[in-house]
Every structure is written in structure tokens, then in C-alpha cells.
A and B are shown apart, each in its own frame.
Chain A
Amino acid sequence: MEIAVVSGKGGTGKTFIASNLAFYLNTRVSPTVAVDADVEEPDLILALGGVKETVEVLSIGNATKVRIVEEKCIKCLKCLNNCRFKAITLLDDKPFVKEELCEGCMLCALLCPADAIEEYVKVIGRLYVVKTRYGELNVVYGDLEIGERATGKLVFDVKERARKVASNIKAKYIIVDSAAGIGCPVISSISGSDLTLIVVEPSITSITGAKRALKIARTLKSKPLVIVNKYDLNPDLAGKIKEELDAEIIGYIPYDTGIVEAYTSMKPYLIYGGKDKAYSSLVKLLEDLVSTVI
């Protein structure tokens, strides 16, 4: 079973929910693989207390890029004028390719009358399979070169590798911690999942983001369930979320600085936070989720 954790707005608690759900399932229910699908900023492993052992490192995202051969270029600017991604700009009166914007479509090469466009392949990221220090949970994550963009394809590759790991260790669950937003990488995170957990906080901006994420989950036929995090910071608005989103809410978790402290001490919250405010509501939510949905 695949479960995606999304939010729309950043900072609502995706990584908090995903890390604890994966840790809980793995230690108490059945072997689990956790996936960090935020390939621009993979932080899931930090919330799980760090790496015990790196099992595998692979190159991912071989991307086609182009460069302009200066000696051949006749400065007709056909490349610059026709690139749909605005990836070519003028630098000292010469066309110059902004590498990170280049999609590798090769239209410029097709149109260049001087054969001045050269193609090359760039590895834009690495994929890691690791075991965590606490509970030996298998985590699969991608890490991109700075400035490269996360694409749906990259997230798909990371998830595919996680599925292989899951089948090797006979894991029953795959938990996908998505990036913020609702763009291509998030669509890819949700795509193919059975369940989408939408983490929302009682702020106007988070509710708007959640609505957008909800729309995508429904389109992709992944069952959406909502978790209201930090509900006690704004109880009035928290009470209106059910009505606002028109979706099933499976739990309310209070704001707890113990979560920050757990990150600080590099321990999973479920190990660190036994006496903290959010602990009992989190455990109840996880128990309910396991007994009723999963």
C-alpha cells in the first residue's frame, strides 16, 4: 500500500507526519519503506534521526542540455527567439544557455543554421537508499544538484526504486513525503498511491493550499484524508476546516515545540516525545489509521 503525504503550503507538518507514520508502521506493524520525494530539499532523514548505513547510491536524472559553440555561432539569435523556455539569453551580445532552464528539447539545434549547438548529458542528482539509525527503517531519497529542478520523472524514478526495495524486503507499506506545492513533483508523488494524507494547519493560506492538493488527489483517484496539525494555535479556524475542505478528517494534533526539540536532538519524535503535548494525539491518529484504513 502506498501513502502520499502532501500539503500544498509548506511547513504544515508533512515531514513530521510522514516520518512518524513510517517509523510507527515499520516498528509496530509491518516492514515499511519511506520515500523522500522532495528531491530539492530532502529532509525526511533528519526527522528520522539520521543514517545508520548507506545501502546504495545511484546517479539519476540524466538530463540533455545544450551549449553554444562560440566559434560557429553567427549570432542570428534564432535559438534565443524560438526557445519556449526562455533558457537562452544574451551575454556580452552573444547567445548564452542558462543550463538550469534548458529542457533539452533540441529545438535550437534544429533551427540553428550554423550547426553551432552542441548537446551534452548532465547527471543532475543522486538517489540514496539508506537505513536509519533508529529502527533500521529503509529510506529512499533523491538529492539534486543545487539549482536543478525537481521533475515528475525524477520523483517517479525515486518511487520506482522504493518499490523495488519494498518488494525485496517484503514491505507492505510505502510512505511518500512529498515536496510543498502542487506542481509536477507533487502530482508524481500522489500518482499511483492508494491514500493521500493532506496535512493542513489552521491558517487561511494552508487551507487554500490543501484545497488545491485535494483536487489533485481526487483527480488521481487517491483517497484523500485530512490531518489538522497545530489545531490549537487557531481553534476557531481549525473548527471550520472540515466544512471548508469537505473531506474526511482523521485527526487533530496540537502544536508542540517537542517536535522542534526532537529534530534538534536528532531523534524520531515517537522516541523523543513520550511526554509531549502532541504525542498522545499522534499515537491515537496512527492507531486509528492502522485499524480502520490501512
Chain B
Amino acid sequence: MVVVGVVGGKGGTGKTFVSVNLAVLASRNKHKTLLVDVDVDNPSTKHYLRLAKARSREVTMFKPIISEKRCKLCFTCINSCPEHALVYIPVDNKIKLLSDLCSGCSVCMYVCPEKAITEGRKTYGTITYAVIDRYLDAVIGELYPGERHTINLMIEVLSSIRDMVRKYDVVVIDSPPGVNAGIYEVVRFSDKLVAVTEPTRLGLNDLKKLVNLILKLGKKPLIILNKHGLKGGIDSEVIGYVEKMGLSLIKVPYSESIALKIMKGEVVVNYSEFTSVLNAFNEILRYVVS
């Protein structure tokens, strides 16, 4: 079993493209594969695949329930809330929760001397488990729009698959853009890392941050230079940087017909005419299963 984290830094470099095509190719080679989408703000792997037998479960977090009967208005909870999510409303003479500000830390419940606060739950997203075909399953986290607990949900998705991953030969994790605590967790969780970049200044700038994060955690990423040959791009600068860092690199070429296939929600390795893309993904797969 191998867990591959697909990360990228900048948005739109091709993380989902690499994740989906790698997972499909692995499953086509009869590796039992699990595709995990932790880009919970905008999970998009599902647009490329037909999900069968999908079942979703709601993900909840702590929310304080204040018993008006028990509350003596001592304000200990208000004074202890790190997010200032509890306020006293004089006209009602009661304490109110500002749900949007609450981080769910539960400090209020423990500090209340009257035991007037108990544990309630609030739903902030879903995790979907689905079958794609005989060799491919998917797990997809999705945050409810307006909720702010992106990283909590990413961690929930990762914990929920911790016991499942053993059943698979290959686990591919598609992650969101950015370099934050959630990406840290993806890097920690993964045996191998694939960092997807593009030959633009913005892509390279963000790649450097990401590579630093991965190296800091004692791991080494394989770099995918996606959209290789993009007109006006800085391919040689990216390649120079990757060489300087002593990392390996695989190029995936750019063409408008590839871009169109992706935009239409198609899996490119399923089309035999894109030989160079298929070759690149075969190479990535060899790295993953080696």
C-alpha cells in the first residue's frame, strides 16, 4: 500500500487533473485504488468520475447548548471564549452564541460552574464514500458554503480513511491550493508526494514555498511540471530550480486540446491520442508503485 499526496501550492496548476488521471491509470493497471478529495472548499474530482453507490455522512463539530434554566449569568463562559463567540444580550437577559464565530473548542462547557452548557453538534460538511468501478473507490469531503472550518474538515476526511487505506494498493489524495496546516497534514499522511506546478512565475513562486514545507517535514516530492511548453512560460527556470534542489521531475505537455478535454470533465488518459500525456502518467505511476 502506498499513499500519494498530490499537492501544488498555486491554484489551477493541475492537482485534480494529476490526481484523477493517476488514480484512473492505477486502477486500469488493476491496482486497487482509492481517490481521496480533501479540497473541501471546492471538491472537483467528482466531476471527472461517475460515482456509483455513493453514500454521504454529515460531519459535525461541537456547539454549546446553553440551558437558560441553569445559567446564572456569571459570564465565565463569555470571558473564557477565545473567539468572543458568546455575548450577553441585555434585552433578553441571556447569553447568546454567535455561531459563525464559534470555533468549537468547547472551553465554555468546561468552565461553566453551573454546568449550564452541554455538548450540541453542528453540521458543517459531508464526507461521501463512493465506488467508481471494480478497482477504484473515492472519498470526497465537502464543506457547506459559508462555513469556515476548512482545515477541520480536511483532518476529518484524513482520519476517516485511516483504517480504510490498508485495503488498497494505491491511495491518491487530491488537495486544495495553498500551503497551510491542512497541507501539513496531507504531507504527514502521505508516503510519497507529488507536487504539481506550471511554468509561470506565480506557479514557481508558490512551488518554492510548498517544497520548503515538504522538506521541513523530512520528505521529498516528485515535481510534475504540468503545461510544459506553454507559450511564454518559464520552463527552464522551473527545471533549473528542481535540479538545484536535487529533486526529480516529470513533464506533462500542454496543448489546447488537452485543456479542452479537462474543461469538459474528461479523463485524458482514457484517450489514446494523447500519447505524451499517457507516457507521462505511466512514468508517474511507476514512481508511485516502485
A interface residues, Cβ below 8 angstroms from B: 7-12, 15, 38, 40-41, 43, 46-47, 64, 82, 84-86, 98, 100-101, 103-107, 110-111, 144, 146-150, 152, 179-184, 186-187, 201-205, 208-209, 212, 215-216, 219, 233-234, 237, 255, 257-258, 260-261, 263-264, 266
- B155 neighbours in A (Cβ, 8 Å): 85-86, 101
* Residue contact A263 to B206, C-beta cutoff 8 Å: no
- A180 neighbours in B (Cβ, 8 Å): 11-12, 41-42, 176-178
Task: Name the residue of chain A whose CB is nearest to the CB of B187.
Answer: A147
- B149 neighbours in A (Cβ, 8 Å): 183-184
Report if B50 contacts A (CB, 8 A). Answer: no
How distant is the Cα of A68 from the Cα of B159 in the complex, in angstroms? Answer: 23
* Residue contact A147 to B179, C-beta cutoff 8 Å: yes
* Residue contact B107 to A107, C-beta cutoff 8 Å: yes
Report if B260 contacts A (CB, 8 A). Answer: yes
* Residue contact B232 to A264, C-beta cutoff 8 Å: yes
How distant is the Cα of A38 from the Cα of B149 in the complex, in angstroms? Answer: 17
Interface flags for B178-193 (1: CB within 8 Å of A; 0: not) read 1111111100000000
Across chains A and B, which 4 residue pairs bring their CB atoms closest together, nearest first? A11-B12, A10-B11, A261-B232, A181-B41
Report if B65 contacts A (CB, 8 A). Answer: no
Q: Chain B nearest CB: distance from A278 CB in Å?
A: 13
For window 52-68 of B, CB contacts with A under 8 Å fall at 61-62
* Residue contact B176 to A84, C-beta cutoff 8 Å: no
In the complex, identify which listed stretch (B26-34, B88-96, B140-148) lies at the interface while the others stay far away: B140-148
How distant is the Cα of A85 from the Cα of B152 in the complex, in angstroms? Answer: 7
Q: Chain A nearest CB: distance from B226 CB in Å?
A: 11
Contact of B143 among A147, A183, A202, A263 (CB under 8 A): A183
* Residue contact A103 to B82, C-beta cutoff 8 Å: yes
- B199 neighbours in A (Cβ, 8 Å): 260
Q: Chain A nearest CB: distance from B104 CB in Å?
A: 5
* Residue contact A105 to B42, C-beta cutoff 8 Å: no
How distant is the Cα of A278 from the Cα of B209 in the complex, in angstroms? Answer: 30
How distant is the Cα of A98 from the Cα of B181 in the complex, in angstroms? Answer: 9
Contact of B181 among A148, A182, A209 (CB under 8 A): A148
* Residue contact A107 to B260, C-beta cutoff 8 Å: no
Q: Chain B nearest CB: distance from A100 CB in Å?
A: 4
Contact of A183 among B12, B41, B110, B181 (CB under 8 A): B41
Q: Chain A nearest CB: distance from B41 CB in Å?
A: 3
Contact of B107 among A106, A148, A149, A208 (CB under 8 A): A106
* Residue contact B150 to A183, C-beta cutoff 8 Å: yes
How distant is the Cα of A11 from the Cα of B263 in the complex, in angstroms? Answer: 12
Contact of A234 among B152, B206, B213, B260 (CB under 8 A): B260
